[in-house]
Amino acid sequence: MSVPRRRRAALAALLVLLVGAPLLALAPAAPGAIRVAGVSLLWWYVGIVAPLLATAITVTALVRGDG
């Protein structure tokens, strides 16, 4: 995959991750309020899962970047 294409794919993935937070928080029936191991699904997502994924995606795209 070329560098620009890899970056575009990474950008798209980041934006999908970002939009996931309000969707999970504001969807009808509040799926984000479901507790998993004492913590709401929403906070697992915004506090752990999405940050780790977003950082991993960015690091991968940057490390294998132009330089």
Partner 1 sequence: MTALAAAAAWLQPVLLTVLTLRVAGGHAEAPWLVLGALVAPLVALLAPARRPAGPNPVATAAAATTVTLVLAADLVVAGDAAALLGVAPWHGVALAAALVLLVPLLPAARRITAPALVLAAVALLLPLGAVALRTGVAPWTAWSHGGLRPALTFPEASGWVRDGERFARDMRLTFTEGQRVTALTEGLYRVVERDAAPPTVREWRLAAGDALTLRPGDELTVEAGARMRFDPGRRMPGMPVTGMAWADAPARGPAMLPGALGALITLVGGALALVPATRRGGLAAAAGPLALMTAVSAAVGWGVYAAAAAPDLALGGSPLAPLVRLPPRALGPAPGGVLATLVVAAFVVLLLAAAVALRGRLAAIGGGRPALWPAAVVLAAALTVWSPDPWRLLLLALGLAAAVWTPALLASGRSAAITGSGVGAVVFVALAGLPLVAPGAAAGLDTLVRYPALVAMPLAWAVVRALGEGVGTPGRPARPAAR
The CA-atom distances, in angstroms, between 17 and each of 2, 10, 61 are 23, 11, 16
Q: Classify residue 49 by its DSSP letter.
A: I
Tell me if 31 contacts partner 1 by CB under 8 A.
no
Q: Rounded distance, CA 13 to CA 51, Å?
A: 12
Does 33 participate in binding partner 1 (rule CB under 8 A)? yes
Number of residues that bind partner 1 (CB under 8 A): 42
Chain contacts with partner 1 (rule: CB under 8 A)? 4, 7, 10-11, 14-15, 17-19, 21-22, 25-28, 30, 32-33, 37-40, 42-43, 45-47, 50-52, 54-55, 57-59, 61-67
